[in-house]
Chain A
Amino acid sequence: MNCNDALDLVHGYIDGELDLVKSLEIEQHLGVCPACKVQYDQVRELGSGIRAHALYHAAPPALRARVAAALPRELGSVSRNSIWGWGRMAVALTLFTLLGLGMGLALLQPGAEERLAREVVAGHVRSLMADHLMDIASSDQHTVKPWIAGKLDFSPPVKDLAARGYALAGGRLDYLGEHSVMALVYRRHGHVINLFVWPQATDADSGVRSDSRQGYNLAHFARAGMAFWAVSDLNAEEFAVFVGLVRDQVVSAR
């Protein structure tokens, strides 16, 4: 073995990654080559120095709370019978933080609809973060629909509305409240519309109810046993047209 071979292999040797034959070769070389032996000693010291002194960045408590808060929103009511050690603490911390932010009142008794609206906006914002928008990118409803069918136990009506100026861009799975939901993604002039769909317990239809918060327009209605929530930063007028189109095509899908 020459010094250049030894240069890399010394690392494998120190890390306990070499097989017996290579280990013996290295040991033999280190026995006869003082320069490599010095290198070996220094690398070993460097390693133990790093392990002993380099900073291990443990997750800050606030992050535990943040992840815990983000996940249960997707997971459902995980916090109630939490089994993870820090779960309860995290929930307490979250509550504490939110109370500190003056959101306590809303958090203690939010109406179901209020809570859902907040989750819908959060889901929309999250979907706009890098690579979150779509699990399947396709404007072809015949591609999107079977893909969904393999993932969910319900079959949401998927229609491309490109002819009307609202192009289907794809879909993804998401979690709202207690449900696995389908998120259909539409685009209009560079604006993204998230349409969340999931089955409801009742068949009762409801009219469109609109709202806006944090600069996003929201609308929801129930039809044909499904709940629909749409959210976008699109202007209110075009957004309302979109919601109307969706509502109409649900009926025609049945």
Chain B
Amino acid sequence: MADSARRRRFEEIVLPHLDAAYNLARWLTRNDQDAEDVVQDAYLRAFRFFDGFRGGEGRGWLLTIVRHTCYSWMEKNRPAEVSAVFDEEKHAEESAAFDPEIAGGGNPEAIALQNAHRRILDQAIAALPLGFREVLILRELEDMSYKEIARVIDIPIGTVMSRLARARKLLQESALLRSISGLPLAELRK
């Protein structure tokens, strides 16, 4: 591919997804500066590997690289967080048995989650283990289909659904915990 054509394609297909790249990196690293470093690194990689881009959706392709760069970075700088993915998954499997008390409790705090203060919600999402956080962000904030998410993370579509279920369950539980551990309900409402 001629250099100028290659460059133009990169500008059209990959550069417009900078926000998506940063959003994912920021949610995974949970730190502004680290996210910026990862994104810049990911863009340089993306450009280097651009000849391997076989068409299709530029955002998914870029996010695959961003995610991979995030993981490499975290394995190097915060290995504990990366290995925690699997511990938590096991834990979640064990506690996944249906509990109608939690589901059907219908207490007002749980329902008030919809109106929960942004800060509390963000904290709850940020507290999710890495493996659950990433599916949630890709689904809810990037509005990606299970198929697209499966491709980015390289897992089966069924696993996308079960991880998403666990992520939301953990979130419900953690938000519940927060709201019943002394926070006045008024603070949860907008």
Contact = CB atoms under 8 A, between A and B. Distances in A.
Interface of A: 3-4, 7-12, 15, 17, 34-36, 38-39, 42-43, 45-51, 53-60, 62-64, 66-67, 70-71, 74-76, 78, 83-84, 87, 126, 129-132, 135, 172-173, 180
A57 B23 contact: yes
Interface stretch (B53-61, B79-87, B157-165): B157-165
Contacts of B21: 59
Given A7-B96, A17-B146, A50-B125, A70 B43 contact: yes
Contact of B39 (A36, A54, A63): A63
Interface of B: 3, 7-8, 10-11, 15-16, 18-19, 21-23, 26-27, 32, 35-36, 39-41, 43-45, 47-48, 72-73, 76, 96-98, 100, 103-106, 110-111, 113-116, 118, 121-122, 125, 136, 139-141, 145-146, 157, 161-162, 164-165, 168, 171-172
Contacts of A50: 121, 125, 136, 140-141
B93 to A, nearest CB: 12
29 contacts: A4-B97, A7-B165, A11-B165, A17-B146, A38-B103, A45-B113, A46-B168, A47-B140, A48-B114, A50-B121, A50-B141, A53-B121, A56-B23, A57-B35, A58-B22, A59-B22, A67-B39, A70-B40, A70-B44, A71-B15, A74-B47, A75-B7, A76-B3, A84-B16, A130-B72, A130-B73, A130-B76, A173-B48, A180-B3
Grouping DSSP codes into helix (H, G, I), strand (E, B) and loop, the A interface class, with mixed when no group exceeds half, is helix
A56 B141 contact: yes
B113 A46 contact: yes
Contacts of B157: 17
A8 B162 contact: yes
Contacts, number: 148
Listed residue (A7, A49, A57) with the most chain B CB atoms within 10 angstroms of its CB: A57
Contacts of B48: 135, 172-173
A11 B164 contact: yes
Contact of A63 (B22, B98, B111): B22
Contacts of B7: 75-76, 78
A83 B122 CA distance: 36
B44 A131 contact: no
A42 B111 contact: yes
Contacts of A67: 15, 18, 39-40, 43
Given A42-B111, A49-B121, A70-B44, 12 more contacts: A3-B98, A4-B97, A9-B161, A15-B139, A15-B164, A38-B103, A38-B106, A49-B115, A57-B26, A70-B40, A76-B7, A180-B3
B171 to A, nearest CB: 6
A48 B111 CA distance: 12
Nearest to A87: B11
B23 A54 contact: no
Nearest to A11: B165
Contacts of A42: 103, 110-111, 113, 172
B145 A84 contact: no
Contact of B104 (A10, A38, A48, A180): A38
